[in-house]
Amino acid sequence: MLRDALIDLLEEKGLEAITIRDLMQQAGLHRSTFYLHYRDKYDLLELSKEDMLNEILGIVNDIDPIQLMKHAARNEPDPVFQKLFEFFTLHAIFFKVLLGPKGDPAYPIQIRSIMEKLIYSKLSIIQSEQIAMPREYIIAYLASANLGVIQHWLAHGMQISTREMALLITRMATFGPLQTFGLKGEA
């Protein structure tokens, strides 16, 4: 209830304008309840962000680059991406606010950092002679592009279904944005 109240108030006022009293009124709780669990509004926000990051990590840990490519070849969304977009849908207000203009500027950086570490660990199983480009650039591109697509989807009202978004990310991660867009190169 406190996390929901915080998000509602963040969307309305921004973090600096929120008081503990505002939070308690919004959540319908007593002030003493708040202080049993949190030091201040910043503590509530940090713990909420950490919980969400851990949930994201729990989902994306199951990504398998080989399976991802197989799903893309069949024009199917990777089930892990489907689950990830369902998670974002379930917590849409939280992510829309925190990744948006009234959110925490550090939060997208934290998410991108987690993505980079995960992508690095998944790509590290690929032998170095198979890699055509410097690994760190591929990792930075994938993490930034995926986060950007998620932010865009949230900011524009999630008009595309979770399945379509999962398929889009599956295809872009495998084929790149231009081929996913429909451009075909000459052989």
- Sketch the domain layout of the chain as residue ranges: 1-38, 49-181
- Please give the model's pTM, rounded to 2 decimal places: 0.85
What is the C-alpha to C-alpha distance for residues 108 and 1, in angstroms, rounded to an integer? 24
Residue showing tokens 């709780």:
29
Residue showing tokens 């829309």:
96
Provide the sign of the torsion angle of the four alpha carbons 126, 131, 136, 137, taken in this order.
negative
Is the pLDDT at 13 greater than 70, yes or no?
A: yes
Could you please state the CATH topology (level 3) that the domain comprising 1-38 is classified under.
Answer: Arc Repressor Mutant, subunit A (1.10.10)
The predicted-structure confidence for 151-180, as pLDDT tens digits, reads as follows: 999 999 999 999 999 999 999 999 988 888
The helix (H) or strand (E) run that includes residue 142 is helix 135-155
What is the C-alpha to C-alpha distance for residues 112 and 33, in angstroms, rounded to an integer? 34
The predicted-structure confidence for 17-68, as pLDDT tens digits, reads as follows: 899 999 999 999 988 888 999 999 999 999 999 999 999 999 998 998 889 9
What is the C-alpha to C-alpha distance for residues 121 and 118, in angstroms, rounded to an integer? 5
